Amino acid sequence: MAASNGKGDSGPFAGVLVIDLTRVLAGPFCTMLLADLGARVIKIEQPGIGDDSRAFGPFIEGKSVYFNFINRGKESIALDLKHAPDRELLLRMVRRADVVVENFRPGTMEKLGLSYETLAQLNPRLIYASGSGFGQTGPMSRYPAYDTVVQALSGLMSITGYADGPPTRAGASVGDLTAGVYLFGAIASALYARERSGRGARIDVAMLDAMISYLLHGFMEYSTHGTTLGRLGNSHPSIAPFDTYQAADEPFVICAAGQEVYARLCKAIDRPDLIDDPRFAINRDRHQHEHTLRTEIETKLRSHSAAHWVDLLSAAGVPCAKIQTIPEAVEMPQLAARNMIISAGGLKMPGNPLKISGFDDPAERPAAPALDANGSTIRAEFAAESDRA
């Protein structure tokens, strides 16, 4: 593997050199996870412009928070890959690299003379990872895609929202982020396989594929009955009671899956009679009579606040939760205890959810780089490299 990035043994990927040709969200999220776990990530950006997300708000002191959230801990060099000297410098970097990650539209890297076949000849141990909207193969491979496009095409929007409302985009960029996590997992897997085989690999992750793999309940319905779930609001397609329920002041979430938890719920709300009610005897019955069961439960819940019921039900071992705002979620002591709210360059942001024993999980992370912030240092470093294969 490549020389250390100067962080010592700060993560399981210490000593791994990643050349990051990605931009916007899915690819940069993947390479941020690699950087968080110790890899040296050199981000290649377009001169004068950089990653498109540098222009995305919100902004603090003229800097994009969007860009900073997903590019912490990386280095930046501006290269024009259509310019021969810059492309040659990139090839020098590839000779030393462990991983190249790109998320251009399929065909772009080939046009630049940077195909997997070309780079693998320079470095047979190279992991070449491509993320795209629809993958490197298939009739849609060269179509443009963004998160909302993939949410729409995958069917996710068709089952999100309420039955009497329009199809709805999920509240986070799940298409991008899911693909980024899959890309990260594939790279980690390929690095592990390389330790045994000595050979690199070609990775192809599509946002649409990733999103389809998450549609378990919707796909189950289609596979079983050839039908679609439709939009269910907050209810579960096959479990009850499992939804938002109205208390005296506001709705909150109850997830009472299974006989034992259902019985705990009934006892906690002082309705033990519901346990043996034949309409609600087993989950299939409860789901069939879901609206009737909701009326029975909410009649009791409306006597006290959501906070009262969350405390009572949690103590009884019933999964439940207040519906929090983002500020409320961020300030949870649980997240502080898990080091999930960290700082990078003075910005508060989500931490790394991958907790691995034996490695540090610092609460202060390196900031995202300014455009070409490391350009002169990287140019000097790789200009001195030999052309060894």
Integer Cα distance of 120 and 194 in angstroms:
14
- Those residues whose C-beta lies under 8 Å from the C-beta of residue 75, and which sit 6 or more positions away, are 40, 41, 42, 43, 369, 373, 374, 378
Integer Cα distance of 356 and 300 in angstroms:
44
CA 318 to chain centre: 28
DSSP structure string for 329-340: HHT-HHHHHTT-
Reduced to 3 states (helix: H, G, I; strand: E, B; else coil), residue 361 is: coil
Sign of CA dihedral 167, 52, 28, 96: positive
What is the DSSP code (8-state) at residue 131?
E
Integer Cα distance of 202 and 299 in angstroms:
58
Cβ atoms of 48 and 69 within 8 Å: the answer is no
Sign of CA dihedral 49, 51, 53, 58: negative
Catalytic residue among 236, 289, 304, 308: 236
Residue type, 292: T
Alpha helices in 269-368 (DSSP H): 283-288, 290-301, 306-315, 326-330, 333-337
Integer Cα distance of 256 and 105 in angstroms:
45
**Shortest CA distance to 126 belongs to which of 7, 28, 17?**
17
Tell the burial category of 3 from Cβ atoms under 10 Å away from its Cβ (0-12, 13-18, 19+).
exposed
Residue 308 annotated as catalytic: no
Q: Supply the residues annotated as catalytic.
A: 236
